[in-house]
Structure 1
Amino acid sequence: MHIDAWIESVPPTAVYALIGLIIGLESLGIPLPGEIALVTASLMAVKGVVSPWGVAACAIAGAIIGDSIGYSIGRKGGKPLFEKLGRKFPKHFGPSHLATAERSFQKWGMWAVFFGRFIALLRIFAGPLAGALKMPYWKFLIANVLGGVVWAGGTTLLVYKVGKSIEPWLARFSYVGLGAAVVVGLTSAWVMKRRAAKAHAKMEAEEAAAGQAAPAE
């Protein structure tokens, strides 16, 4: 059963907790389809099954709390935590992925947390990596709250408003909306993987050059 069908199968009152949990775990650093879950719940709000404000509130809470827990874990575990995860889950936490995410933090600082909320793979890195890099918590919290509100709240209300405006074609729109969410997620993942591959190749080239220079010295 796909996650969208699973969410639609649970009682309406449980949808709020489920959305908060899925997005919270994704923000914590566990790769889950948070965007698809959020779009699914928003479409349920269009049908009147749940409240859009309830979905938005739970999604925002899950995003902020999950990121904050991830920050605490990253601050305690440091970079060795990512090295350990990279060995166990190379597809999600490999050295090349970490290098790409770290470059984003070096370039954007606290705003990497904010912008990372909108990029599938970076979203699972933002909290733990901010903690591992010892970013001051007040900076992290500002970007975390802003990112959570804009991404989770904005996505919910956008899907709800659009869905209401074309409610007669809702059955068709549900597939279009979910399809669009999947495309966005896959595109983000593809872009991040390409950048990660380039970063990894650069690291290997630098290590090889350093290895050749060492004997000469």
Structure 2
Amino acid sequence: MLENFNALVDGLPPALVYLLIAFLVFAEAALFFGFVFPGETAIVVGGLLASQGELSLPLLLVIGVVAAVVGDSVGYEIGKKYGSRLLDTRPMRKHAVKVASAQDLIRRRGAFAVFIGRFTALLRALMPALVGSSRMPYPKFLLFNFLGGLSWVLIFGFGGYYAGAAFEHAAQIAGRGLAIGLAVAAVVAIAVWSVRRHRRERAVEGAAETGRPAEPAVTDAG
């Protein structure tokens, strides 16, 4: 997914790249894009581009925080307006287990659940609307939404930036060919881990819906 997004923004003017990153981060909760595209991918790639001088890191961070807060606020208003009817929508029914988990987290943690949910892709898309439907006061939601969005953007923005800087440093020391090989290996490892995590989550959701225990993951012997 990182490679696909990087290819998408390659050659675009910086203004359009900022706009695309802002839209993807905003749409994660406001339009429930988080079900299919985790917003941190856009922030990480933005950080990588900033390390190459293509974007301004401070501006990227500001845009990311504003887009995250505004997008979650729209999600909150959607949940507040539609309430329980939102749970009957197809995306919510499809991820019923995650919805129940998010609702339980809200009951146990209150506003702090907004901060926690920011760091889990699917909860990040669900949490604002569910909090809105729970009628939590908006000022309380906004405070924890801002703190979570700020922490999330800083972590992934600086992560992408320093990953790009480390790549350039490795290229200078070990040669660009070896550095590219290591980068590809890292991307493949992340992709494999993401696919396996997604499969485990789907297995757990499927088991919960059918009432059967999930099958244990198969591990290599020895």
TM-score for the superposition, normalised by structure 2? 0.76
Per the TM alignment, residue 35 of structure 1 is displaced from its structure 2 partner at its CA by 1.8
Question: Cα gap change, 1:186/1:36 in structure 2, threshold over 3 Å: closer, same or farther?
Answer: farther
Question: Cα gap change, 1:131/1:180 in structure 2, threshold over 3 Å: closer, same or farther?
Answer: farther
Match of 2:50 in 1: 45
Per the TM alignment, residue 192 of structure 1 is displaced from its structure 2 partner at its CA by 4.9
Match of 2:33 in 1: 30
Q: Which has the higher helix share?
A: 1
The separation in 2 between residues aligned to 1:175 and 1:187, in whole angstroms, is 18
Per the TM alignment, residue 85 of structure 1 is displaced from its structure 2 partner at its CA by 3.1
Question: Cα gap change, 1:73/1:11 in structure 2, threshold over 3 Å: closer, same or farther?
Answer: same
Match of 1:117 in 2: 118
The separation in 2 between residues aligned to 1:104 and 1:192, in whole angstroms, is 17
Say whether the 8 Å CA contact 1:42–1:52 is kept in structure 2: yes
Match of 1:80 in 2: 85
Match of 1:208 in 2: none
Say whether the 8 Å CA contact 1:71–1:131 is kept in structure 2: yes
The percent of aligned pairs where both chains have the same amino acid is 31
Say whether the 8 Å CA contact 1:60–1:148 is kept in structure 2: yes
Say whether the 8 Å CA contact 2:76–2:131 is kept in structure 1: yes
Say whether the 8 Å CA contact 2:114–2:145 is kept in structure 1: yes
Say whether the 8 Å CA contact 1:100–1:192 is kept in structure 2: no
- Of 158-167 and 58-67, the range deviating more from structure 2: 158-167
Gaps of 5+ in 2: 172-178, 213-222
Say whether the 8 Å CA contact 2:167–2:183 is kept in structure 1: no
Say whether the 8 Å CA contact 2:46–2:160 is kept in structure 1: no
Question: Cα gap change, 1:63/1:190 in structure 2, threshold over 3 Å: closer, same or farther?
Answer: farther
The separation in 2 between residues aligned to 1:76 and 1:13, in whole angstroms, is 34
What secondary structure is seen at the aligned counterpart in 2 of 1:2? Answer: helix
The separation in 2 between residues aligned to 1:103 and 1:199, in whole angstroms, is 15
Match of 1:64 in 2: 69
Indicate which of 2, 10, 16 corresponds to 2:4.
2
Say whether the 8 Å CA contact 1:113–1:147 is kept in structure 2: yes
Say whether the 8 Å CA contact 2:45–2:160 is kept in structure 1: no
How many residue pairs align between the two structures?
A: 199
Q: Deviations over 1:45-90 (max 9, x none)?
A: 111111111211111111100000000011001121121234xx75
Per the TM alignment, residue 149 of structure 1 is displaced from its structure 2 partner at its CA by 0.4
Match of 1:214 in 2: none
What residue identity is the alignment partner of 1:36?
T
Question: Cα gap change, 1:185/1:106 in structure 2, threshold over 3 Å: closer, same or farther?
Answer: farther
What secondary structure is seen at the aligned counterpart in 2 of 1:33? Answer: coil
Match of 2:162 in 1: 161
What residue identity is the alignment partner of 1:110?
A
Question: Cα gap change, 1:108/1:199 in structure 2, threshold over 3 Å: closer, same or farther?
Answer: farther
Question: Cα gap change, 1:21/1:34 in structure 2, threshold over 3 Å: closer, same or farther?
Answer: same
